[in-house]
Chains A and B, each alone.
Chain A
């Protein structure tokens, strides 16, 4: 599936498209296209200046300075433009919450994700441990009777598109991704809940993001498998990798659901108080699952209570065998160290997600040579995730990881501002990373982490024609994305 789509398959899908949508056959096959620009950033450090990219059949056929553009070929030409590979977010949380008005109906779900405290202040549990967040003293739960007196210090009558619940994976109309029947669900797939028509994909592609690894949210200890998809294009060809890595989480997130021994009825989703409500319990769930998988591998029956589904253990056995990649999300230093410890215990190779406090354990990460999908870390340290556990991010993390020689890609996760991932790149440059390295961290390196470097990640002949055309230097604050192609199709065109 990750490989070249066979021409038969492509022709068939074109035919279907033709029949169903009445789209011209030529367009579906990928109209030949030439892009002429002042600079082409290949993505591996090379710059072709000035440059021309020729695209046929949805793939790059040639890149160079003095290429003859065949007559009749459609040409995209923007003065002073630069071309980069399409950006890849290797840890996107793609949802479909309404863009403008994240409506109140998600409130109970927010509660599950730690977004909104479901308990009015007078009923709040006494325990004020690490899972309970820094409360703004002026903040009043909007579901409480005091809500009418709530003063919004920043805005009134405005909606905050950015202030969606922090963990909104929102796949399938913002439902929870991970099935709540168990903490160990690697046999389920994010793809089954994925809404490819979600507005988030529109926003992502406008930001220059052409490929995303759709990550399950961290609500289960061992969660569903992610998927790699194009952000735009023909529906039948959007999915690049249907069953990608298994996601695990070390951190407080799985315990948000039904922890605290309170009646979980308010949350509306969970009918029972879930089991791991401490980091210790969470680690035990992780270890038990892999113990059982190991036993199965050895032909023994798993034993004891809380045994995961056999299908789940089969997937975990593949993880143990190195056939299915593993992702572990960990933010805090201690969680990162736990992840490293667990991986060592079971001989697992994995990719670390988020890793906000990676700068506190550089040596350990360097020794383990764990690839990291970092970020978003360049938000203000007291910034937009105020209700999460206190994470001490540092602007220097990305630079320090690079200097330590740790493979690292940048991710914007759920941030989808005007330029979510591009903005992460912008920030990285401000904090001392070269443009070349920043570009790699959002193109080639994530492609490598996803095992798609032969298909994506650079502007080279033979690769898929996922390209971004900027009207100036890429990632500069004054530059705008004027065009984006995916598989050679112009999916964003802001030329005037």
Chain B
């Protein structure tokens, strides 16, 4: 971890390091893994959770944040997110050699909103319009470059068995078959040349026919032998890369499963279900592969004969089939569905156990991404992606008060000018006020009261013009209560729009190079 910190320091020399140890003290802890703790402490050391419990001994040099009255919850994991990309889809149908890295827009408002809504890890993946799409990666919604945002690259390839505007169903299936047949051909030739190369190395003579050489050469193929066009597909067919296959309709499910079985990546397959795909529930149940549910959880259909409206709550069908599922937020949808806590609350509304609903927005997506040992719950040893909520995650009145990403205070509601604007609070003044210890999280208060008090308080502060103020080097202010010192201050928006962006961290531990694995 200190390595990552060192690299971070090197890349962004102007940025100070965050406190090495943070104790979030006195909150109700919902660890998701394990029972709730009514009042306890989460200790974060060097970006990792080192203690969770009711009686945690806080090191003398830890920064203590009083979160009494609040709820500590693991950051939501958004399993299928393609909104922060330049375009969510490539126009070519087969592009396994592309990486969403090149399309990421760190300044996209979608990331800002994700952070505001408590989504601290995002599986950034291309959209559904493809046969074989680009490589995905796991990111967090802070950072000013794709590298800073990256948690783990190269997680999965996006596939689709659903027709889209450019490919009808037959052409799509033909394209998929052709692609893999071409891969077979390519790998056969590669195997042959690999075998020949090895014989040459060993100074032996070629004594077998081409078919046998291809067979013998097959195990000799290394990733670096493949060209860019084929490398990811090669890894996929070897079961070393996950496939996230979009199935828009029920009829798309069985081709997806058949393809995965035939090509050896069935055990690495996650199905991304469209609105109507849940109807293939018996097939899904037999396959026992994890599924991502559509944003719109309620499927409504009118019976063509009787005219009766039939409602199906999709998570309920999937849950009853015993499948592992994850929920996705409806980015760009209404305020409710945009919020993963609300999506989970709807599951509870329809009779799904609370624990299952909570896992569907935290641990389950982490499991599908193969990072459940690092993310998705508040457990010792996991990376510290922690939300400080004003109340229960399933209550829509709850707000994300603070979000910690590996020990960095990545979001603080008290310093969110856009939210203040929408809530009718004087936002620009608030943005201009440099972080002081007074602006540290206030004790839990009634929401309405808090808002009513806010305007009265603001004029006391000296209003400043945020746009005109040059970006200053953040100077940590000495304070009587260093424990409540916010870790970051607003960074002036380089676009010069006059809005300061409070969400940009001034230090990011995850600035490893493109290929680096931070988690």
Contacts and interface: CB of A to CB of B under 8 A. Distances in A.
A binds B: yes
Interface of A: 98-100, 138, 148-159, 161-162, 197, 199, 202-203, 206, 359, 378-381, 383-384, 394-397, 399-400, 415, 417-418, 423, 426-427, 429-434, 476-480
Given A100-B301, A206-B311, A359-B424, A155 B128 contact: yes
A417 B82 CA distance: 24
Contacts of B249: 157
Contact of B349 (A203, A431, A478): A478
Interface in B303-329: 307, 309, 311
A99 B300 CA distance: 8
Contact of A396 (B346, B348, B422): B422
B395 interface: yes
B162 A157 contact: yes
A65 to B, nearest CB: 27
A424 to B, nearest CB: 10
Contact of A156 (B128, B298, B333, B448): B128
Contact of B345 (A151, A197, A417, A478): A478
B349 A480 contact: yes
23 contacts: A99-B301, A99-B309, A151-B89, A157-B249, A161-B300, A162-B333, A199-B307, A395-B422, A396-B422, A396-B424, A399-B451, A400-B424, A415-B334, A417-B336, A418-B346, A427-B336, A429-B397, A430-B335, A431-B423, A476-B395, A477-B394, A477-B395, A478-B346
B274 A429 contact: no
Given A151-B129, A152-B165, A417-B334, 11 more contacts: A99-B300, A99-B309, A150-B165, A158-B248, A161-B296, A203-B309, A379-B335, A381-B422, A418-B298, A423-B334, A431-B423
Contacts of B294: 158
Contacts of B447: 432
A477 B309 contact: no
B300 A157 contact: no
B327 to A, nearest CB: 13
B207 interface: no
Contacts of B127: 153-154, 156
B332 A476 contact: no
A381 B421 CA distance: 11
The SS class assigned to the A binding surface is loop
A400 B396 CA distance: 20
Given A426-B336, A477-B336, A394 B424 contact: yes
A199 B82 CA distance: 33
Interface string B502-519: 000000000000000000
A399 B424 CA distance: 9
Most A Cβ at <10 Å: residue of B127, B275, B335, B421: B335
Interface string B53-93: 00000000000000000000000000000100001110100
A148 B165 contact: yes
B396 A396 contact: no
B338 interface: yes
A155 B274 contact: yes
Contacts of A148: 165-166
A404 B391 CA distance: 29
A202 B424 contact: no
A157 B167 CA distance: 11
A442 to B, nearest CB: 16
Contacts of B394: 477-478
B424 A156 contact: no
Interface string B412-424: 0000000001111
Contacts of A417: 334, 336
Interface of B: 82, 87-89, 91, 127-129, 162-166, 248-249, 274-275, 294, 296, 298, 300-302, 307, 309, 311, 332-336, 338, 341-342, 345-346, 348-350, 394-397, 421-425, 447-448, 451-452
B423 A396 contact: yes
Contact of A149 (B166, B333, B346, B396): B166
Nearest to B252: A157
A417 B294 CA distance: 15
Given A157-B164, A395-B424, A431-B423, A477 B333 contact: no
Most B Cβ at <10 Å: residue of A423, A434, A479: A423
Nearest to B422: A395
Contacts of A395: 422-424
Nearest to A161: B300
A151 B349 contact: no
Given A158-B274, A203-B309, A423-B334, A480 B129 contact: no
Contacts, number: 144
Given A98-B302, A156-B129, A384 B334 contact: yes
A384 B333 contact: yes
Shortest beta-carbon contacts, A-B, top 4? A396-B424, A477-B345, A156-B164, A157-B248
Nearest to B130: A156
Nearest to B249: A157
Contact of B302 (A153, A158, A199, A206): A199
A20 to B, nearest CB: 18
Contacts of A162: 333-334
Contacts of A138: 87
Nearest to A153: B88
Most B Cβ at <10 Å: residue of A148, A158, A162, A199: A158
Contacts of A430: 335, 396-397
A381 B109 CA distance: 13
Contacts of B396: 426-427, 429-430, 476-477
Most B Cβ at <10 Å: residue of A138, A154, A202, A203: A154
A336 to B, nearest CB: 17
Nearest to A157: B248
Contact of A151 (B165, B341, B451): B165
Contact of B334 (A157, A379, A431, A477): A379
Contacts of B342: 477
B349 A157 contact: no
Given A379-B335, A399-B424, A429-B396, A157 B451 contact: no
B165 A380 contact: no
A180 B88 CA distance: 42
Given A427-B335, A480-B350, A99 B302 contact: yes
A470 B472 CA distance: 53
Contacts of B395: 476-478
Contacts of B397: 429-430
Contacts of B89: 151, 153
Nearest to B160: A156
Nearest to A386: B332
Contacts of B335: 378-380, 427, 430
A289 B162 CA distance: 55
B293 to A, nearest CB: 13
B463 to A, nearest CB: 20
Nearest to A384: B334
Contacts of B424: 359, 394-397, 399-400
Given A100-B301, A158-B274, A432 B166 contact: no
Nearest to A381: B422
A157 B274 contact: yes
A202 B307 CA distance: 10
A479 to B, nearest CB: 6
Nearest to A434: B448
Contacts of B166: 148-149
B278 to A, nearest CB: 13
Contacts of A197: 307
B176 to A, nearest CB: 16
Contacts of B423: 394-396, 431-432
A380 B346 contact: no
Contacts of B88: 151, 153-154
Contacts of B333: 162, 383-384
Nearest to A472: B349
A366 B88 CA distance: 46
A17 B452 CA distance: 55
A46 B164 CA distance: 54
A100 B302 CA distance: 8
